[in-house]
Amino acid sequence: MSEHQETWQYKHFTICWYKATAKTSAFVVRCRLGRGADPTLGSSLGEVKWYGSWRQYCFFPESDTVWNATCLKDIQAFLDEQNAAHKTGIAKKGVKS
């Protein structure tokens, strides 16, 4: 994992930043192991990354994972946050998104 170890904690999973390009970042969604456990050690549930065809961050779940409404709402909130931050970053650079 990179030196940049930003994480977002949710009830059933953790989202960890793991790489960046010039314009976008990618995040791994990991299973929570329990209170006080290292959030980077849970098994991978999927990935949040930029999807160029749709020009937005999207969630790419691992196969055979199951998601309930609460978990999907948390993922949606994270996607909304990252997409808004991306638009703001582009707007600051003067590039039309």
Residue boundaries of the structural domains of the chain: 7-91
pLDDT level of residue 78 (50, 70, 90 thresholds): very high
Task: Identify the pLDDT of residue 59.
Answer: 96
> How far apart are the C-alpha atoms of 66 and 6, rounded to whole Å?
25
Tokens representing 75 are 């993922």
Predicted local distance difference test score (pLDDT) of residue 80: 95
Question: What is the distance between the alpha carbons of residues 42 and 67, in angstroms, rounded to a whole number?
Answer: 16
Give the model's pLDDT for residue 48: 94
Residue 90 CB: number of other CB atoms within 10 A?
13
Report field, pTM of the whole predicted structure over 0.85? no
Task: Show the tokens assigned to 51.
Answer: 């999807």
Identify which has the larger pLDDT, 20 or 3: 20
Quick check: 68 pLDDT over 50? yes
pLDDT for res 36: 66
pLDDT of residue 72: 93
In eight-state DSSP terms, residue 20 is E
